Amino acid sequence: MWSVPVAGAALVVAGVVLVTVGVRFTHLVDELADRTGMGEALAGALLLGATTSLPGLITTILGAASGEAGFAMSNAIGGIAAQTVFLAIADSFYRPVNLEHAAASVPNMVQSMVLVSLIGLVLGATGSPDVTLLGIHPATFLLVAMYVYGLMLVRDAHHNPRWAPEQTDKTVVDEPDEEHSGRAMSRLWVEFGISAAVVAATGWVVGTAGLSLADQTGLSGSLVGALFTSVVTSLPELVTVIAAVRIGAVTLAVGDILGGNTFDVLFVAAADIAYRDGSIYHAADSSALFLMAVTVVLVAVLAAGMLRRDERAIGFEGVAIIGFYALGITSLVLVG
């Protein structure tokens, strides 16, 4: 365990590294989305969202392996909540119209529904019979299967949508850019891999720092996970979503947040495997369960924003998401 000053400094340094690498990620994935034909929504979910989630994944696994179920669960779900707020913040960086209006797409709508379903499964598992197979709850296997199936639905929605949002003069259509950097695809993938490795390495630092803070300060693991480590490990999402918005890749921005959040639910599955004292779903405390409920509300409001498609710079969903998150965190602090 590290001392409080060392742990605090480690969180700051890790945050700076994640912010720096996050900017580079956005441009790489935007070009890969165009040149591979993957599309911004799927690239945001599979490449940008999943890769920038690696620090949170490693932090969650470290907490679970240390027996800190509350820390692991709150870090996983807290990251989803924080990243949804980041999307609301990004609204202020896109001047033409509300971001959810401009980025309304079938893949992003499907992604949000998959996310709600996955969190619902985790919540349901906490009230299910406490049974395990080789120390792993059956819900973990179902969680992974649902995630894979959800990706298939998003891919199908991109290539063969059954409906389409109404096109307005402020809708940004996901079309490949004609101009590229000119670099070979192999070089792009190498740069992507190196950046991913750097991002992943910070996960161990953040996890160790978070567990040290919980041990040295007496704060509950759930509170540290929800307030500190989940926010720090989510910083790449904040940087990438703002960078994507600034270069006009709004579908990539929304797909990044929704895709990263969907991937983040798998942190719970990884935590259940790493947690050796039984089912982590049944070891989760009330703070983690409360955070899950708040997160479901945030994602539902975001989906409503894409359906309503407000034209104001920051629509009702942006204000509601920030407000509900602030209310939820305040409640956690007061109870903790």
Q: What is the pLDDT of residue 279?
A: 94
Inform me whether the pLDDT recorded for 140 exceeds 90: yes
pLDDT, one tens digit per residue, over 197-248 is 888 888 889 999 999 988 888 888 888 998 889 988 888 778 878 877 877 7
| Least confident interval from 57-71, 225-239, 310-324 | 310-324
Q: Which whole number is the average pLDDT over 322-334?
A: 92
Closest by Cα among 293, 289, 296, 286 to 336:
286
Inform me whether the pLDDT recorded for 162 exceeds 80: no
Q: Which whole number is the average pLDDT over 32-50?
A: 72
Q: What is the pLDDT of residue 170?
A: 62
Provide the 3-class DSSP secondary structure of residue 33: helix
Inform me whether the pLDDT recorded for 179 exceeds 60: no
Contact 336, 220 (CB under 8 A): yes
Of residues 29 and 131, more confidence is placed in: 131
Inform me whether the pLDDT recorded for 273 exceeds 80: yes
Contact 101, 309 (CB under 8 A): yes
Q: What is the pLDDT of residue 171?
A: 60
DSSP class of 136:
B
Query: Residue 195's CB: how many other CB atoms inside 10 A?
Result: 20
Inform me whether the pLDDT recorded for 40 exceeds 70: no
Confidence of residue 41 (pLDDT cuts 50, 70, 90): low
Inform me whether the pLDDT recorded for 33 exceeds 80: no
| Least confident interval from 90-99, 140-149, 186-195 | 90-99
Q: Which whole number is the average pLDDT over 105-110?
A: 81
Tokens found for residue 238: 């904040």
Closest by Cα among 336, 309, 279, 334 to 91:
309
Tokens found for residue 154: 């998003």
Please, what is the average pLDDT of the chain? 84
Q: Which whole number is the average pLDDT over 70-94?
A: 88
> What is the phi-psi region of residue 175: left when phi exceeds 0, alpha when psi lies from -120 to 50, beta otherwise?
beta
Contact 130, 285 (CB under 8 A): no
Per-position DSSP letters for 243-277, written without gaps between them: HHHHTT-HHHHHHHHHHHHHHHTHHHHHHHHH--S
Inform me whether the pLDDT recorded for 336 exceeds 70: no
